[in-house]
Amino acid sequence: MKRKFGDRANWRRITRRHFTSRYVECDQFTGYLTLYTIYGLKEPLWKTYGQHTYRIADKGYSWLQYYPKDSHFIVTAMFDDKRQIVQWYIDICKKQGVTDQGVPWFDDLYLDVVVNKDGEVFLLDEDELEDALRRSDITRDDYRQAKVTARRVLRAIDAHEFPYFMMSLEHRDRLFHNGEFRRKK
């Protein structure tokens, strides 16, 4: 199992970035909210889902990430350089926390859900979850937790009850470009 950090400090593709993090408590959401903005990189990052290939990281792109308190998933809303949504990426995780420096992290449980801007939904890396269980990298309880969490997320998406899609579109402008997360010059 791999621990992943919100500031992506070890991501070598990125040469210049800005990262900010806040703990938020409101009716809509409680937990850590981060913004990772890319200012320079060695090469863009492209991903293919279904029949389409998407650029998910490039100069001017930003990733708004939600770490919901007491949840077993992390939501990343990926925006292009024109502030348009590219995709939402939902990591299924065992647990999450925050470093002494205030950087949120999570222990990845391999399964991921991707929702592209057109609303197509993809469940990814089931084979990686199976392999991790076979290698004893995760326990049977971890495996069950990942499957149950992914099913809950997919059901919420299908029922139009997954609040992070609309919330991320609102937060991207309100909190980050006009509000308290705005980069100080």
Range of the domain at 83: 2-177
| Average pLDDT estimate for 39-67 | 94
Domain of 35, CATH number, reads: 2.40.380.10
185, part of any domain: no
DSSP type of residue 170: H
Q: What is the mean pLDDT of residues 147-171?
A: 95
Within a domain: 182? no
Asked if residue 123 lies in contact with residue 111, where contact means CB atoms within 8 angstroms, the answer is yes
Neighbours of 61 (CB within 10 A): 22
* pLDDT band, residue 176 (cuts 50/70/90): low
183: in domain: no
Residue 182 has pLDDT above 80, yes or no: no
DSSP letter, residue 168 = H
3-state secondary structure of 62: strand
Alpha helix (H) residue ranges in the chain: 126-134, 140-158, 164-171
Assigned domain for 97 exists = yes
Q: How confident is the model at residue 184 (pLDDT cuts 50, 70, 90)?
A: very low
Strands 85-98 and 104-116, bridge-based pairing: antiparallel
Q: Is residue 87 within a helix (H) or strand (E), and if so which, with residue range?
A: strand 85-98
Amino acid found at 152: R
Which residue, among 165, 30, 5, 27, has the nearest Cα to 93 in the 3D structure? 5
Does 144 fall in a domain?
yes
In a domain, 148, yes or no: yes
pLDDT at 56 over 60: yes
For residues 38 and 127, what is the distance between their CA atoms, to the nearest angstrom?
31
Tally of domains in the chain = 1
pLDDT value for 185? 44
* Helix or strand run (H / E) with residue 40: strand 30-41
